[in-house]
Structure 1
Amino acid sequence: MRVTQSMLGHNSLRHLSNSYGRLNKIYDQINTGKKITRPSDDPVVAMRGITLRAHRNEIQQFKRNFAEAHNWIDNTDAALNQAGEAMHRINVLVNRAANETMEEDGKQAIADEIKQIKEQLINIANTKVGDRYIFSGTATNEPTVGGNINTEAVEIELGKGIKIPVNVTTEKVFSNDFFAKIDQVVEDIENGGDVQQHIGPMERLMNDLVTERTSLGARANRVDLMEERVGMQEIMARQLQSDNEDAEYEQLITEMVKEESLLRASLGVSARVIQPTLIDFLR
C-alpha cells in the first residue's frame, strides 16, 4: 500500500487528538475527583452508581424515620413518667383516706387534691407533639380524652419491611375506665363510702403505667440497636460508592505524567514525519 504525505499527516493529527483526549479525561477526573463525568464514560460505573445512590437515599430516609421514632418514644416516656408520679400521689392519698380517721374537711381536701391530679392526668393524656396527640392511636388529630380515638398502633418503618410501633394506646393507659375509677374514689371519699376497696385498683392503675413504660423502654432499646446498624450500613454504602465513583489521585498523576511524555514524543515525531512541501518554499 502506498503511503502518502497526507496519510502521514492525518495519522499524526489523529494520534495527537487521541492523546489530547486522554489527557483531557485525566484532567477532568483530577478536577472533579470522580472517575466519570458522564454515563458514557463508563456505563458499568454509572449503573452501579445509580444503585448505590438509591441505597444511600433509602438509608437517609430510615435515619429521618429514626428521628421521628425517637420523638414519639421520648415524649411518650416523659408523659408516662409524669402520669406514674401522679398515680403514686393518688395512691398515697387513697391510703391516707382509707386508714386514717379524719374530719370531713380533711377528707374533702384529699378529694379536691385527687380531682386536681385527675385534671393533670387528662392534660398528660392529651399530650401533643407538634399537632398530633400521641395517645390517640392513629387518630392523631383527635384528643385522647373527649375525642373519637382508636387503638391502632402508630408504626414507623425503620428498616426494609420492618415497622416498629412507637406509641402507647388508650387501651393500655388513660382509658375511660381509668378515669372512671378515679372518679369513684373521689365520690366515696366525699360521701363516706368504702375507700379501702379502691387501694388495690389504684395500685393496679399505677402498675399498668409502669408496665407500659417498661414495654416502651424495650422498644426504645430495639430502636437504638437498629439505628446503630443502619449507621454502619451508611458507612459501608458510602465506602462502596466512593470505591465505585471516586478517582484515585496517585494513579491519575502517574497516568498524566505518562500521557504528557507520550504527547511530547508524539509531537516530536510528528514534526519530523510531516516534511516541508513545495508550498513552504514558495512562501
Structure 2
Amino acid sequence: MRITQSMMSDRMLRNLSNSYSDLNKYSEQLSSGKKITKPSDDPVVATKGMSYRTEVRDVEQYKRNLSEAQSWIDNSDSALSNATSALQRIRELAVQASNGTYEEGQRGNIAEEVDQLKEQLATIANTQVNEKYIFNGSATNTAPVTINEDGSATVDFNSNAVNLTLSNGVDMKINVDGGAVFGEKLFNDLENFSAALRSDGSDEDLDQYIGLIDENVNNLVNERADIGARMNRMDLVASRLGDQELSATELMSNNEDAEMEEVIMNLVSQEAVHRAAMSAGARIIQPTLMDFLR
C-alpha cells in the first residue's frame, strides 16, 4: 500500500488527538481524585458506584431514624422516671394519712399535695418531643390528658404504635403505650384518694389506696423495663449500622477513588509521549515550496 503525505498527516493528527484525550483524562483524575467523571468513562465502575452510594444513603437514613428513635425512648424513660417519683411520693402520703395520727382537717392538706402531684402526672403524660406528644400513639398532635376546671382529668389516649425502620428488615416500636401507664385508672384512683382524704375517711378506707397506687407504680416499672430492653437493642443496631457504613464507604472509595501515585506517573509518562509525538509529527510534515525559496 502506497503511503502518502496526506495519510501520514491524518494519522499523526489522530494520534495527537488521542494523546490529548489521555492527557485530559489523567488531568481530570488528578484534579477530581476520582477514576471517572462520567459513566461512559467506565460503565462497570459507574454501575458499582451507584449500588455503593445507594447503600451508603440507606445507612445514613437508618442512622437518622435511629437518632429519632433514641430521642423518643430517652425522653420516654426520663418522663416515666419522673412519674414514678411522683407516684412514690403519693404512696408515702397514703401511708401517712392512714396511720390514724392526723387530726380532723389535716388530711385535707395531704389532699392538696395529691392534687398537685396529679396535675404533675398529667403534665408528664403530655410530654412533647419536637412538638409531638410521645405518649399519645400516632395522634402526636393531640394532648392525651386534660385537667378540667373542677380538677378532674379527661383522658383520651391513642393506642396505635409508632414504628421506625432502623435497619433493613428491622422495624421497632419507639413509643410507650400511654394509656397503660397514664390511663383513666391512674387519674380515677388519685381523684378518689383525694376525695377520701377530704372526707376524713377511715384508716381502712385509705389503706386500699396504697395497694391501688402500688398497681400504678408496677405499671410504670414494667413499661420502663420494656424501654430498657429496646434501648439495648438500639445499641446493637447502632453498632451494626456503624460497621455497615464503614464497609460501604470503603467499598465505594476503592471503586471510585483514583490511586494518586499511579495517576501522577501516568500523567508524567503521557506528557513525555505527547512531546515525542509532536516532535515526530513536525519531522513527518514535508517542507512546503515556500521553504525552498527562502
TM-score between the two structures when normalised by the length of structure 1: 0.95
Counterpart check, 1:131 vs 2:142 = no
- The 5 A counterparts of 1:148-163 are 148-163=156-171
Q: Is the 8 A contact 1:136 1:144 kept in 2?
A: yes
Query: What is the CA distance between 1:148 and its match in structure 2?
Result: 4.3
What letter matches 1:52 in structure 2?
Y
| Cα root mean square deviation, aligned | 1.6
Listed one character per residue, the Cα deviations across residues 84-126 of structure 1 (whole Å, up to 9, x for unaligned) are: 0000101101011112421123211111111111111111111
Q: What is the CA-CA distance between 1:201 and the residue it aligns to?
A: 1.7
1:168 corresponds to which letter in structure 2?
Answer: V
Partner of 1:167: 175
Q: How does 1:238-253 map to 2 (within 5 A)?
A: 238-253=249-264
Q: Residue 203 of structure 1 corresponds to which residue in structure 2?
A: 214
Does 2:152 align with 1:141? no
2:148 corresponds to: none
1:215 aligns with 2:223: no
Alpha-carbon distance in 1 for matches of 2:43, 2:229: 47
- The C-alpha deviation readout for 1:56-94, integer Å capped at 9, x for no partner, is 111111111112112211111111011000001011010
| Distance (whole Å) between structure 2 residues aligned to residue 109 and residue 180 of structure 1 | 19
Indicate conservation of the 8 Å contact 2:155/2:184, yes or no.
Answer: no
Is the contact made by 1:133 and 1:141 (CA closer than 8 Å) also made in structure 2? yes
Distance 1:135 1:79 in 2: 10
Structure 2: distance between partners of 1:136 and 1:21: 64
Cα distance in 2 for partners of 1:130, 1:269 equals: 72
Shift of 1:171: 3.3
2:26 matches 1:26: yes
Preserved CA contact (<8 Å) 1:135 1:167: yes
- Mark the runs of 5 or more structure 2 residues left unpaired by the alignment: 146-153
Q: CA deviation at 1:235?
A: 1.4
Pairing of 1:76-155 with structure 2 (within 5 A): 76-145=76-145, 146=154, 148-155=156-163
Does the aligned pair in 1 maintain the 2:65–2:166 contact within 8 Å?
Answer: yes
Number of the residue aligned with 2:151: none
- Which stretch shows the higher mean deviation, 268-277 or 179-188? 268-277
Distance of 1:148 and 1:100 partners within structure 2: 37
Give the AA of the match of 1:78: S
| Cα distance per residue 1:235-280 (max 9 Å; x no partner) | 1111111111111101101111221221222223223332323343
Q: Secondary structure at the match of 1:252?
A: helix
Q: Does 1:264 align with 2:275?
A: yes
- Cα distance in 2 for partners of 1:139, 1:4 equals 85
Name 1:186's counterpart in structure 2: 194
Shift of 1:282: 4.3
Alpha-carbon separation, structure 2, partners of 1:170 and 1:249:
58
Counterpart residue identity of residue 221, structure 1 = N
Q: Distance in 2 between matches of 1:16 and 1:212?
A: 76
**Percent of matched pairs sharing the same residue:** 47
- What is the deviation of 1:223? 1.1
SS of residue paired to 2:74: helix
Please list the CA deviations of residues 19-61 of structure 1 after superposition, one character each: whole Å capped at 9, or x if unmatched: 1110111001101111111111111111211121121111111
Amino acid at match of 2:34: K
Amino acid in structure 1 at the alignment position of 2:33: G
In 2, the alpha carbon distance for the partners of 1:147 and 1:39 equals 60
Cα offset, 1:128, TM superposition: 1.6
Question: Amino acid of the residue matched to residue 94 of structure 2?
Answer: V
1:6-21 aligned at under 5 Å gives the runs 6-21=6-21
User: Which secondary structure state, in structure 2, belongs to the residue aligned with residue 173 of structure 1?
Assistant: helix
